[in-house]
Amino acid sequence: MSKTKTKEENALPTVKIYIMGSAHEVPASLTIMKAMEYAGFKIKRGSGCRAGFCGACGTVYRKAGDYRIYAALACQTQVEDGMVLTQLPFIPAPKGKYDVDKLLPTASSILKFYPEVARCLSCNACSKVCPQEIQVMDYVQYSLQGQIDKAAEESFDCVQCGLCAIRCPAEIAQYHVGMLARRLHGKYNMSTPESLQERVAEIDNGVYEEGFNDLISLSKNDLKKRYTERDFVDQKKAG
Q: Give the residue range(s) of CATH 3.10.20.30 domains in the chain.
A: 11-87
Helix residue spans in 79-123 (DSSP H): 107-113
In one letter, which amino acid is 13?
P
Q: Give per-residue pLDDT as tens, 186-210.
A: 999 998 889 999 999 999 999 999 9
**What's the rounded Cα separation, in Å, for the pair 98 and 112?**
10
| pLDDT on residue 52 | 63
CA 38 to chain centre: 23
Which superfamily is assigned to 11-87 in CATH? Beta-grasp domain (3.10.20.30)
In the chain, residues under CATH classification 1.10.1060.10 are: 100-189
**Closest-CA residue to 90 (of 138, 29, 45):** 45
Smallest CA-to-CA distance from 85 within 146, 138, 21, 145 is with 21
pLDDT averaged over the chain? 89
pLDDT tens digits along 56-65: 888 999 999 9
Q: Is the domain 100-189 a CATH 1.10.1060.10 member?
A: yes
9-27: pLDDT as tens digits: 457 899 999 998 899 999 9
